Amino acid sequence: MKNKILESPLTETALLIMLAMYKPNHGYGVMQFVEEKTNGRVIFGPGTLYGAINNLEKKKWITLCEVTESERKKEFVITELGKKQVEAELERMKEVYKLGMEITSIGGMSNDQEI
């Protein structure tokens, strides 16, 4: 039985932001990370990124890093609770991926084979 605190499925936006925050990162860094890692498939708009970061912070899945005077930009890092969410989501995706690979032609099973 999975932990009841865990929410699933996560939105792609939430998942990508949390992955970008395994190391302390600021909004601009998150945008660049996501665009680069998805080869430009996902480009966050400022409104979407702002709303998602606020939401993740409220849920305590990410937290604000201590801001020093030299740092102008706010940096966030994923929390332990956030990491649990990401791991649970990856497990779910693995399950779906495995099923998809078993059934579709990509995974080797042809269309006329019995499922």
* 15 vs 109 by CB, closer to other proteins: 15
Residue 23 sits in the site that holds other proteins (CB under 8 A): no
Q: How far is the CB of 75 from other proteins (least distance, A)?
A: 9
For other proteins (CB under 8 A), the number of binding residues is 22
At residue 52, the 3 state secondary structure works out as helix
In sequence order, the 6+-apart residues with CB closer than 8 A to the CB of 23 are 77
Residues 49-78 binding other proteins (CB under 8 A) are 49-51, 53, 72-74
Do residues 73 and 31 touch, judged by C-beta distance below 8 A?
no
What tokens appear for 37 in the block? 């890692």
Strand partners, 26: 75
Which residues sit at the interface with other proteins, rule CB under 8 A? 11-13, 26-28, 31, 40, 42-51, 53, 72-74
